[in-house]
Amino acid sequence: MNTVSLIIAEVPYWGQSLLRVLGGLVAVLLPAGTIVYLFLFKMMSFMQSRLGPMEAGPYGSMQLFAEVGKWLQKEDIYPARADKFIFKLAPLIVLASTFLLVAVVPFGPDAWFTNFEAGIFYALAVSSVSVLGILIAGWSSANKYSLLGGLRAAGQLIAYELPMVLAVIGVVIQAGTMNLQGIVLAQNSGSMFGFDGLGNPYVLTQFVGFVIFMISVQAELTQAPFDMPIAESELVSGYMTEYSGFRFLIFFIGEFATAGVFAMIASVLFLGGWAVPFSWFGWTTMDSIDNWMNFAGPLILFTKMMAVTFLVMWVRFSYPRLREDQLQRFAWKVLIPISLVNIMFTAILKVAF
């Protein structure tokens, strides 16, 4: 036990809950804002040889606040034939799944919201709650484009959930635990063929799993080239067609917050999470880690998350949209068989070594 956990332990339960809610808000909204400004506004502009927003604040850094202000001013419209209660509920479900997802991400040796054994199982389970939100958003809009978008989203998210889970199984086999802290520990205290200078980041030893996981994340986030549910040129933004103002803002935050949280989970699973290789400082177990890692850990995780998000956004800005049948074929005929073979080899090698 070290000081941070002692301080936390003296705070009453309601105080701890409040701190956790505040921390969750920061952990969801800060990456989302950074991703939108740094990648959606600036990186996309640079990749198209333009500068992006430059007027609001230095280098357009206040642009996001201007956009949020604009959305908040807009009228909250719903279609006449929409199922109003469900229609208003849908964006909140999508955002809630993001907040549920961030609850299991560890940020440091003691800096976590919850830390339970089946962490990654829980994360993959609640990440599919957003499918419900998207599906009922499309259905309750009383709009054929929205309905098509919602159904496409449901089909796509379910199809890509499978390779994602199967890719994670490789990591779980190698780490021997489903606890995210345990996976971080296994990566950073491990060694590759006796060399422990880098620990054992699974991006190297589980490279196939990493690639499959990132492709599935791309599809789960409905980013191009897998953005058929949104498809602004054919489905006029799919399930988001009828949403405006505040509710569209929630969908927008949800999209990029989920990108951030998925990138965090990817960096926890494959890049060593909040930690640096333990051999650098002579740590061996979770208890021997210095206390300053509770403050450096979130920053390290944030850096790794930005690197992963860069990959996601880079692919998003480079590739055109796939066709619906190509998307399904790619998931069922390519990704799932490869990930099954990957699991088999991981299991064989795990037993052999």
Partner 1 sequence: MPKLPGLFKGLGVTFGTLARTVTQGANTVQYPHEKETPPIRSRGVIALHEGNCTSCMLCARSCPDWCIYIEGHKELAPPRRAGGKPRQVNMLDRFDIDYALCMYCGICVDVCPFDALFWSPEYEYSEPSIADMLHDKVKLGEWMETVPEAPELEVGADKKGKK
Contact residues toward partner 1 (CB under 8 A) are: 43, 45-51, 54, 314-315, 317-319, 330, 334
Pick between residue 5 and residue 318 the one whose CB is nearest to partner 1: 318
- The nearer residue to partner 1, 116 or 317, going by C-beta atoms, is 317
Smallest gap from Cβ 50 to partner 1, in A, equals 4
Residue 113: which of 100, 125, 126 has the closest Cα?
100
- The 3-state DSSP class for residue 126 equals helix
| Helix H or strand E segment including 165 | helix 144-175
Q: Which of 205, 194, 216 has its CA nearest to residue 335?
A: 216
Q: What are phi and psi of 195, to 5 degrees?
A: -100, 120
CB of 301 to partner 1, least distance (A): 25
Q: Describe the chain by its helix, strand, coil percentages, rounded to 5.
A: 70, 0, 30
SS (H, E, C) 316-327: HHHCCCCCHHHH
Distance in angstroms (rounded) separating the CA atoms of residues 343 and 174: 10
**Alpha carbon separation from 28 to 21, 127, 161, 253, 273 (Å, rounded):** 10, 14, 22, 9, 16
Least distance CB 260 / partner 1 (angstroms): 21
**Smaller CB distance to partner 1: residue 39 or 213?**
39
Residue 46 CB, nearest approach to partner 1 (Å): 4
Question: 60 vs 138, which CB is nearer to partner 1?
Answer: 60
How far apart are the C-alpha atoms of 163 and 219, rounded to whole Å?
A: 11
Nearer Cβ to partner 1 (315/347): 315
Rounded to whole angstroms, the Cα distance separating 123 from 263 reads 13
**Minimum distance from residue 248 beta carbon to partner 1 (Å):** 27
CB of 341 to partner 1, least distance (A): 16
Q: Which is nearer to partner 1, 48 or 291 (CB)?
A: 48
Q: Which residues contact 69 (CB under 8 A, 6 or more apart)?
A: none
Nearest distance from C-beta of residue 312 to partner 1, angstroms = 12
Complex with partner 1: residue 17 or 48, whichever CB lies closer: 48
Phi/psi at 261 (5° precision): -70, -40
